Structure 1
Amino acid sequence: MLPRSLVLLQLLLLLSSASAWKKDEFRNCDQTPFCKRARSRPPHSLPSFSVADVSLSDGSLSALLLPPSSHPLHQVVDSASHSDSPDSPRPLLLRLSALHGGILRLEIDELETASGSRRRFRVPDVLLPDVDDRLRLRLPRLGSPAPGLSTFPISPGFEAALRHDPFELVVRRSPSGDPVLSFNSLGLFDFETLRPKRHGDGDGDGDGDGDGEWAERFRSHTDSRPRGPQSVSFDVSFHGADFVYGVPEHALSSSLALRPTRGPGVDSSEPYRLFNLDVFEYLADSPFGLYGSVPFMLAHGAGASSSGFFWLNAAEMQIDVLAPSSAGRVDTLWMCEAGVVDAFFFVGPGPKDVLAQYASVTGAPAMPQQFALAYHQCRWNYRDEEDVAAVDAGFDEHDIPYDVLWLDIEHTDGRRYFTWDRALFPHPEQMQQRLAAKGRHMVTIVDPHIKRDDSYYIHKEATENGYYVKDASGNDFEGWCWPGSSSYPDILNPEIREWWADKFSLQSYKGSTPSLYIWNDMNEPSVFNGPEVTMPRDAIHYGNVEHREVHNAYGYYFHMATSDGLLKRGDGKDRPFVLSRAFFAGSQRYGAVWTGDNTADWDHLRASVPMLLNLGLTGLTFSGADVGGFFGNPEPELLVRWYQLGAFYPFFRGHAHLDTKRREPWLFGEKNTALIREAVHLRYSLLPYFYTLFREASVSGVPVMRPLWLEFPDDKETFNNGEAFMVGPSLLVQGIYQEREKSVSVYLPGEQSWYSLRDGVAYGGSASHKLDVREDSIPSFQRAGTIIPRKDRFRRSSTQMVNDPYTLVIALNSSLAAEGELYVDDGKSYDFEQGAFIHRRFVFADKKLTSVNLAPANSGAKKFSSDCVVERIIVLGLPAGAKKAVIEPGNREAEIEIGPLNLRAGSSPVAPTIRKPNVRIADDWTLRIL
């Protein structure tokens, strides 16, 4: 028998090997030549670029960016001759444009050269149409306050200053000159121009870690890199910042802000990688890239100073956050394998200003259908129609509402998408119709890997029309995924996106109905036998674009085409619902995303909050994490805590792996069923508030789920709090992230009080409170000075709640005042774009509640009406002595009772409640408390 210490050592080695094996599937920076080279350079170690031939034309500054004479691999360039020799380093073209709303756009690309030269790839279809024409300011002049410096205004109080030699761009306040953002302040700008292969260039026989290699090899895969090295790197500094956020997707559990990855006091760390990957059972706290990439970073600091930076580039990107060299500044290094510099600087000055500026460039989130905000039930896989019917009936039997039931890949005929296994699902239309009769919907999965089967109509059409991505030899690319041998539509091609969209018509997708919506998984794209479980970088797309140049946007285009297909299916009247695992900047315009294949453990529960907060800060507000964890079997306590937290996610879905035990909410005993039921009921009661917040997001770009500092930008205590979050401006939620937790410390920001959602007890602001942990709820609070609309009658689905009355919960501040909003439309169509909605503001002051119309007069051709009324008004913080309320118009009276804050059995009577005022939400009215 082995000694106990040796047994433990062997177990540790096995665990270490398992972890290392997963990491070995993916490249690190040292195995990625462009990253290794860029990261090895200390600040100011590169010869400097310089600016020449500055001019102002059509509202933009144009200039030449001259490479340094001693630049590696480069020769001296005569800027007058602009040599077209293919082996000469050509000057770069620099363009600066000031855009409306406090935005500066910087573009750096190679000059057009001799006929036949290839242009570098610029990502299309991500920016909103005509960004330049729509937003560009017409600059009247350039300023030159000092030799070798060009300046021009960006917006009131801000200007851009371009230093010529050495090249540096600074966005600064005027007239003070205080910097906000700067580019190349550390002198790390480098641009590998396209060049022919030369004698001595490496052929990639190594592991891809040598300098100057042409081809690259990683594990058993060789990337031919036919166009050679073409990387771009530069530094960006955020002045006045304490922390930076964003650049998802990474699993962050120990920090909301992006931790430094290099510099004094920083242990060895990888950069934050942006490279969409199918990462099996990802680590809960790691800078490795996951399923999506948004190269947008938001900075914030004391004094409520915020700024942002966005690089429109879909190639692999690595980003270092440098340890602070001085207080109030964060330096970052951005490294990318290919593409051009097409970057946007957002000057704020407030954090919500930065989000609005980013949304004006990439788009605000789409307004979802109302049912999509309710609870979704999913697993891989519900076996057959009988299983679907049993799960549906189980929710009714246990009084748990839900709106969407999902089917994974096993519902198809041999994993051929747009088909059904007719032995298991012989009547898919009737199955969907039975759900629809209860106001419920179904979602089926449609992935990008197409089974290579000549009898499969999708494959046959794609092959005949040449619609697949090509390999480096020009043949249809073949990879391995769930169906076996598969090929992938070249979704970069607009014609192919149109073809794909047509596949979602009711005539083409046999067995589908109008209540069926779609789930795009594996669209990074995932290729089981490919390098890093994805498509080879030298595969070829439409326009002779290499996959390396478009990789991070592949899932974006797939999401776009699927969303367009559902839009076409409904003749442009039905808002699509599409969930995508992969994403890129702009994905917010097409639907929801989620954090992928998480695990049923407490660390992944904790990590879900900073992950979702960073997604929201980069536009992707309609996001969630698999409740309960995708892998593994959660213990009942973890599952309950996850439901209690997930009820506040923007996207609320339970999901589980094929090999896990069944975990429908009623399978864990009556006590846990009751706790889960209460969490789901809470979500349904808050649906009017959530829907109103999604409307705000669709207009302003401000996310539904927010870090505390977004609402309290002056409070340093909130800057790196990743355990609590705001839902809109009014709710604060603190998760429980440890097993058998007895107490939790909750920081409540601001000077006003906070009222517990559970019992209405008030807690002071600007203080931490140690609270006993309850099993029936997690700490959640309503901010004093706010009004939240609710619906408290629970139905089988949200669709059946449409005509139910409202409850208004008024949380008074120290001035006995509060306000809030309610937005209502038909919940499904685009009629709201033509004015068919109700938008009210409720204002409480001087013991008087007033309903004010926010919809513009004659706002559109369509109209929307509602007979819904307010049946209860709960007032928290109202001094004792109020007896009745008088409602105008009509001079009606309503009694004030001391009743329960919530509908929970046994809830203590703590709140004055005005019952049955029965005022219509669509009307102007006033309610005075006497």
Structure 2
Amino acid sequence: MSAPGPGVQAVSAGEGISILDEAVDKSKFKTCSQLSFYRRQKQLLPGKSLYRARLDSFTLHNGIAKLQIVHEENKVPLLVEIYGIVGNILRLRINELSPLKPRYEVPDVSVTEPALHRLTVIQEEADVIVLGCDQGDHRVHVAASPFQIDVLSKEDTVLRINSLGLLYFEHLQPPPKESRTQTEEKSDASSISSETGEEDLGFWKEQFGNFIDYKASGPSSVGLDFSLHGYEHVYGLPERTEPLQLQSTSGSDAYRLYNLDVFGYELQNKRGLYGLVPLLLAHKPERTIGVFWLNASETLVELSTKPAFIEAATDMTKKRVVPETDVRWMSEGGIIDVFLLLGPSPFDVFRQYTQLTGTQCLPPLFSLGYHQCRWNYEDEKDVKAVDAGFDDHDIPYDVIWLDIEHTEGKRYFTWDKEKFPSPKKMQESLRSKKRKLVVISDPHIKIDPEYPLYSQAKERGYFVKNRQGEDFVGICWPDSSCYLDFTNPEVRHWYSDQFTFSTYRGSTDILFVWNDMNEPSVFNGPELTMPKDTVHYGGWEHRDLHNLYGFYQQMASAEGIIQRSGGIERPFVLTRSFFAGSQRYGAVWTGDNKAEWGYLKISIPMLLTISIAGISFCGADVGGFTGNPDPELLVRWYQAGAYQPFFRGHAIMDSKRREPWLFGAENTRIIREAIRERYALLPYWYLLFYRAHVSAEPVMRPLWVEFPRQLETFGIEDEYMLGNALLVHPVTAPEVTSIDVLVPGPDEIWYNFHTFERFVGVSTLKVPVTLDSIPVFQRGGTVVPLKTAVGKSTEWMKGISYELRIALDSKGSAAGELYTDDGQSFQYLHEDQFLYRKFTFHKNILSSSCADEKGRYRTECVVERILILGVRKQPASITTIESGRKDRKVTFVYNPRTCVLTVEKLSLGLSADWKIHVM
């Protein structure tokens, strides 16, 4: 939910407030050229760096290398620190040697202080120092004049730092003496204007429209360039509406990393959206690397790919062009703190990044089901009717959501007494259906002395301050509001306490949380957000930590749900604004999309980009938030959403009602089947989230991640892998009758997931589609666990038996896993209450064995059915062998047309070791 849209009552007076239509109002947002720190940095052109290293200052203590560098003109020294980190990671920090005052360093994103590998000096000369690491295959060359760092692996250059000479560091300065009164400043502000809506007012303030940004520390931006040798395919930098593969910024705006409430956001635009992760990945067949720029201030990224030079090949008669991608990072404040993730495989990079920022939290099982949301379900009667509608139409769902209208005058943690007079009774009704409720809780707090949340926060000084030291006041949904300072640990603890049942009256343990508008959104603020000169805990300006604000609210919300349960239950918290590390606290979504085909199509690269940046639990509003989807678009969106990690239907308040059964019987049937297919696959979804949790493997992943040496996969963004087993190609255009699907090979075997048709040695399939089908393929050599039936919600399905769908590879083998636990508590973590099984099919024997001996979870569930795809001839007999039970022959059905062997009525214990012999 975003700034006011059509049919929404405009928020009353406040500078900059207007009713927005569904197109983004570009005048409210800056272009890169309107950022003074960007203009200053762009004056530094590529060339020989003006920084040189003082190698005589070099020290190596506890394996950490330190040296000073100095700018030849201003002579101010900087301190360079180089760390070798366990897991093939390098860290580079650059800060002022003696700053006037501390510069902001991002806290709380790293899960722990990284364990170090010792660096050693391999070579030391007058103009270069070569460092090695006691583990890993890389070396670090530090050149003195000009200052440059090269990272090599087995003598091949991986990347070069400052090779373009774009290291930039603005030193903190004392403020100038005030020569004018505030009245004169205000008078000047009202008279200054420009065609661009912005004017640079010197180093200490700048203007955008009618807003003046006063900079307490003056200019303090930093920048650095990286040349990625041999790489032309680069990815990452979510959240954006451009292709999966990052595009050259030559001749266009840079990628802007600045969390903003961009209602009606445009497609194919580099403007920052609601959340971001400052992580870039570069990939080539031989290696994947990552650059993680840990800075929470506004950041711009420029990149260009070019042939770097000609290298002689082994055969001296041949030569090859080696590409190179140059990346320039520019941040408004803070220090340079960058982690180089050296791979070498894609999964190594994912592990390295989450080693620093944490893995995806294991969500409660219910949250992987279908969610039904609208701005707003009107009252308790409406909630009851919608809930009953799912049962009446035999459509499973798990969660119904309430937007801001459920509160008393948009006061969070309250209920509208007329519309929701009995919230506990409403929740108990949902509980009886084994379903949950999610309610919204935004960071702006209505100014109302009678509102306990406001009065307590006001009394304790918990709000963000303006530059004069008073509580900052902005306009959002409740009109005049103050904004909680979530950067303050005390505020986060207090906010978490608001979720206790005694404080949050009318809440129960089936109520979970949605954090919206937390960029933060300020309707009358510059770029519809908080002014950069507001002040947070510790005296830090908002400019230093803007991109962390939503991260901190989600952290506090997740902690609140956990504390509410006495530390027992896993939380579910959805956030719109996010940063590196947000994966530890819940889910994210792509914000206020539109009911248009282009937004369905762009959702795939958007979600893939978020996924490879560590946040697996992500999704896009099914049907589009604004507008009214036609039936075909809605059906296709449900089919896509069913195969994406976070699955929620959502709509703006002035859209037509669009519950799944309102578009005719045939469309209801197709949507029902899409949702039921999601529920049948819940065992596989849960396994993938467990793998993301323990091993940092993205749930939804680009093809190149699974097939890193196949060049044809590098630019594919309309299809993707779920785990290593399923390839999905949603239909994202109207009236489609066939789709060309790339199936990586040539040694792979693929099976149509619905018809079981087998494909060998092909690269592209032309797949016919009807309205009730989308292409989904299972990879040969994999095992996918499913449920044999579907219930009304995830909780209804706990006792339903399992099916194993086994797809044989060219050697007649397959392997897969299954993970289960109670689906809601932390006992899997603290008391080993989990079950992790491994299945292998080899030489006509299917084996079930324990994948983790620590697991002690017991379940009465059984494996009831097995489908083996790719069986070339009918077996003579099938025998099951299970410990503690007599061997027994079982009946089976073999289909020679599809080559599918079906074995049913097995009743094999899920936690038992057993074998099935196919004779």
TM-score by length of 1: 0.91
Q: Is the 8 A contact 1:367 1:695 kept in 2?
A: yes
Q: Is the 8 A contact 2:213 2:531 kept in 1?
A: yes
Measured in 2, the distance between the counterparts of 1:45 and 1:162 equals: 15
Q: Establish whether residue 623 from structure 1 lines up as the match of residue 636 from structure 2.
A: no
Q: Establish whether residue 291 from structure 1 lines up as the match of residue 271 from structure 2.
A: no
Of residues 47, 54, 58, the one that matches 1:54 is 58
Of residues 879, 884, 901, the one that matches 2:877 is 884
Q: Establish whether residue 29 from structure 1 lines up as the match of residue 17 from structure 2.
A: no
Matches within 5 A, 1:602-751: 602-750=597-745, 751=747
Measured in 1, the distance between the counterparts of 2:126 and 2:613 equals: 37
Q: Establish whether residue 530 from structure 1 lines up as the match of residue 525 from structure 2.
A: yes
Task: Give the partner amino acid of 1:92.
Answer: L
Q: Is the 8 A contact 1:650 1:705 kept in 2?
A: yes
Describe the SS at the equivalent of 2:424.
helix
Q: Is the 8 A contact 1:154 1:160 kept in 2?
A: no
Q: Establish whether residue 261 from structure 1 lines up as the match of residue 249 from structure 2.
A: yes
Matches within 5 A, 1:141-160: 141=121, 143-144=123-124, 147-153=127-133, 155-160=135-140
Moved more, 292-301 or 768-777: 768-777
Measured in 1, the distance between the counterparts of 2:22 and 2:501 equals: 45
Q: Establish whether residue 921 from structure 1 lines up as the match of residue 907 from structure 2.
A: no
- Runs of at least 5 residues in structure 1 that lack an aligned partner in the other structure: 1-16, 78-89, 263-267, 901-907
Task: Give the partner amino acid of 1:317.
Answer: T
Describe the SS at the equivalent of 2:800.
coil
Describe the SS at the equivalent of 2:172.
coil
Q: Establish whether residue 101 from structure 1 lines up as the match of residue 87 from structure 2.
A: yes
Task: Give the partner amino acid of 1:232.
Answer: V
Q: Establish whether residue 807 from structure 1 lines up as the match of residue 803 from structure 2.
A: yes
Alpha-carbon shift at residue 148 of structure 1 (Å) = 2.4
Alpha-carbon shift at residue 375 of structure 1 (Å) = 0.6
Q: Deviations over 1:65-104 (max 9, x none)?
A: 21122xxxx3xx3xxxxxxxxxxxx311111110000001
Alpha-carbon shift at residue 608 of structure 1 (Å) = 0.4
Alpha-carbon shift at residue 468 of structure 1 (Å) = 0.3
Task: Give the partner amino acid of 1:500.
Answer: Y
Q: Deviations over 1:440-469 (max 9, x none)?
A: 100000000000001100000000000000
Alpha-carbon shift at residue 154 of structure 1 (Å) = 6.3
Q: Is the 8 A contact 1:376 1:402 kept in 2?
A: yes
Match of 2:304 in 1: 322
Match of 1:903 in 2: none
Alpha-carbon shift at residue 311 of structure 1 (Å) = 1.1
Return closer, same or farther for 1:200/1:434 CA change in 2, 3 Å cut-off.
closer
Q: Deviations over 1:407-452 (max 9, x none)?
A: 0000000000000001111111111111111211000000000000
Match of 2:166 in 1: 188
Match of 1:275 in 2: 258
Q: Is the 8 A contact 1:237 1:332 kept in 2?
A: yes
Q: Establish whether residue 225 from structure 1 lines up as the match of residue 215 from structure 2.
A: yes
Task: Give the partner amino acid of 2:85.
Answer: L
Task: Give the partner amino acid of 2:841.
Answer: F
Alpha-carbon shift at residue 909 of structure 1 (Å) = 7.2
Q: Establish whether residue 450 from structure 1 lines up as the match of residue 426 from structure 2.
A: no
Alpha-carbon shift at residue 230 of structure 1 (Å) = 0.6
Return closer, same or farther for 1:535/1:301 CA change in 2, 3 Å cut-off.
same
Q: Is the 8 A contact 1:754 1:765 kept in 2?
A: no
Of residues 840, 844, 861, the one that matches 2:841 is 844
Q: Establish whether residue 756 from structure 1 lines up as the match of residue 740 from structure 2.
A: no
Q: Is the 8 A contact 1:882 1:896 kept in 2?
A: no
Measured in 2, the distance between the counterparts of 1:349 and 1:524 equals: 34
Of residues 857, 865, 870, the one that matches 1:864 is 857
Alpha-carbon shift at residue 181 of structure 1 (Å) = 2.2
Match of 2:901 in 1: 912
Describe the SS at the equivalent of 1:917.
coil
Q: Establish whether residue 128 from structure 1 lines up as the match of residue 111 from structure 2.
A: yes
Measured in 1, the distance between the counterparts of 2:71 and 2:566 equals: 53
Q: Is the 8 A contact 1:102 1:154 kept in 2?
A: no
Measured in 2, the distance between the counterparts of 1:872 and 1:484 equals: 58
Measured in 2, the distance between the counterparts of 1:381 and 1:352 equals: 41
Measured in 1, the distance between the counterparts of 2:681 and 2:674 equals: 11
Q: Is the 8 A contact 1:820 1:841 kept in 2?
A: yes
Of residues 332, 351, 361, the one that matches 1:337 is 332
Match of 1:798 in 2: 794
Matches within 5 A, 1:413-452: 413-452=408-447
Matches within 5 A, 1:131-530: 131=114, 135-141=115-121, 143-144=123-124, 147-153=127-133, 155-174=135-154, 177-197=155-175, 205=192, 207-210=197-200, 212-252=202-242, 255-262=243-250, 268-303=251-286, 305-326=287-308, 327-530=322-525
Alpha-carbon shift at residue 141 of structure 1 (Å) = 4.2
Q: Deviations over 1:641-697 (max 9, x none)?
A: 001011011101110111100000000000000000010011001100010010000
Return closer, same or farther for 1:438/1:898 CA change in 2, 3 Å cut-off.
farther
Return closer, same or farther for 1:765/1:506 CA change in 2, 3 Å cut-off.
farther
Measured in 2, the distance between the counterparts of 1:51 and 1:926 equals: 67
Describe the SS at the equivalent of 2:306.
coil
Alpha-carbon shift at residue 742 of structure 1 (Å) = 2.0
Task: Give the partner amino acid of 2:861.
Answer: C
Q: Is the 8 A contact 2:305 2:323 kept in 1?
A: no
Q: Is the 8 A contact 1:30 1:209 kept in 2?
A: no
Task: Give the partner amino acid of 2:227.
Answer: S
Measured in 2, the distance between the counterparts of 1:154 and 1:261 equals: 38
Measured in 1, the distance between the counterparts of 2:21 and 2:582 equals: 34
Task: Give the partner amino acid of 1:809.
Answer: R
Measured in 1, the distance between the counterparts of 2:822 and 2:23 equals: 52
Task: Give the partner amino acid of 1:922.
Answer: S
What is the aligned-residue identity percentage?
Answer: 45
Q: Aligned pair count?
A: 869
Return closer, same or farther for 1:568/1:18 CA change in 2, 3 Å cut-off.
closer
Return closer, same or farther for 1:670/1:109 CA change in 2, 3 Å cut-off.
same
Moved more, 145-154 or 523-532: 145-154
Q: Establish whether residue 599 from structure 1 lines up as the match of residue 594 from structure 2.
A: yes
- Runs of at least 5 residues in structure 2 that lack an aligned partner in the other structure: 1-19, 180-184, 309-321
Measured in 2, the distance between the counterparts of 1:549 and 1:490 equals: 14
Measured in 1, the distance between the counterparts of 2:559 and 2:536 equals: 21
Of residues 808, 812, 818, the one that matches 1:816 is 812
Measured in 2, the distance between the counterparts of 1:442 and 1:276 equals: 28
Task: Give the partner amino acid of 1:874.
Answer: L
Of residues 744, 764, 783, the one that matches 1:787 is 783
Q: Is the 8 A contact 1:271 1:318 kept in 2?
A: yes
Describe the SS at the equivalent of 1:328.
strand
Of residues 566, 571, 574, the one that matches 2:569 is 574
Q: Deviations over 1:876-914 (max 9, x none)?
A: 1001221431011321111111479xxxxxxx9763200
Alpha-carbon shift at residue 209 of structure 1 (Å) = 5.0
Describe the SS at the equivalent of 1:673.
helix
Q: Is the 8 A contact 1:837 1:855 kept in 2?
A: no
Q: Is the 8 A contact 1:238 1:307 kept in 2?
A: no
Q: Is the 8 A contact 2:53 2:69 kept in 1?
A: yes
Measured in 2, the distance between the counterparts of 1:289 and 1:806 equals: 44
Q: Is the 8 A contact 1:803 1:867 kept in 2?
A: yes
Q: Is the 8 A contact 1:538 1:546 kept in 2?
A: yes
TM-score by length of 2: 0.92
Return closer, same or farther for 1:51/1:883 CA change in 2, 3 Å cut-off.
farther
